Amino acid sequence: MLLAARDASVARVVYASSSAAYGNAPALPKEETMTPDPLSPYAVSKLAGEQYAKIFHALYGLSTVSLRYFNVFGPRQDPTTQYAGVIAKFISCALEGKPYPVFGDGEQSRDLTYVSNVVDANLLAAEATLDDAPMMNIAYGERASLNQIIGMLNELTHQNLPAQYLPERAGGVRHSHASLQRAKEILGYAPKVDLLEGLRRTLEWYKGK
């Protein structure tokens, strides 16, 4: 993709990276200056993509920017795939009246980011004035535990479905929380949709499928 963009004189490549690059570093919030520590092949591939984007800027003058997304959710996610996001799976359970599957104790936390916030960030990144090939976090900027998310979904659906706690999975990240300072400074990014409103919008979409 980068080769094709270079050869076609594309104005800019916006690369979709991931917060998984940080791994399980205990410091919160995650800042872009932290040393990456990927814990899965997926995370390694995202980190490698960032480096490719940076090198293509340095060698060929291709304008690139890498956005580390934090747990994007919203309509149209498929809850049945192996790589489905936790919100898609949880909403599917809520609508079917089934227990929520949780790998671990449910106290692991995520900086869940409604998809329209990410769309806004991509549009800003495509049009911003950039001096180099920056990398930055894109998230909501707050975190919630899986147990808290279950509580929110039960409240939105007027239910009291339990969690089904399962053994932890290898390569999982315990806590995820983004610093948005760099994205605010470079892009003027500010998330508009909070977690509860994002859950409500997503739930309404799945109800109407």
pLDDT for 162 equals: 96
Higher pLDDT, 168 or 183: 183
Cβ-contact 159, 95 below 8 angstroms: no
Domain encompassing residue 188: 2-207
CA–CA separation, 160 and 150 (whole Å): 9
CA–CA separation, 184 and 207 (whole Å): 34
The string of pLDDT tens digits covering residues 31-44 is 999 999 998 999 99
Tokens, residue 78: 């498929």
Amino acid at 184: K
User: 158 — alpha (psi -120 to 50), left (phi > 0) or beta?
Assistant: left
Cβ-contact 137, 70 below 8 angstroms: yes
The string of pLDDT tens digits covering residues 11-30 is 999 999 999 999 988 899 99
pLDDT for 82 equals: 66
- The dihedral through the CA atoms of 34, 35, 39, 40 has a sign that is positive
Tokens, residue 40: 């899965």
Please indicate whether residue 114 is annotated as part of the active site. no
Residues 6+ apart with CB under 8 A from 200: 156
The string of pLDDT tens digits covering residues 69-113 is 999 999 999 888 766 689 999 999 999 999 999 999 999 999 999
Helix residue ranges per DSSP H, the chain = 2-7, 41-60, 86-96, 115-127, 146-157, 181-187, 195-207
Domains identified in the chain, total number: 1
Which DSSP category does 162 fall into?
Answer: P
pLDDT for 83 equals: 63
Residues 6+ apart with CB under 8 A from 66: 15, 17, 49, 50, 53, 54, 133, 134, 135, 136
Single out the catalytic residue among 15, 22, 42, 189.
Answer: 42
Question: Over 80: is that where the pLDDT of 120 sits?
Answer: yes
Cβ-contact 170, 43 below 8 angstroms: no
Q: What is the CATH number of the domain that holds 136?
A: 3.40.50.720
- The dihedral through the CA atoms of 91, 199, 105, 158 has a sign that is negative
* Predicted structure pTM score: 0.92
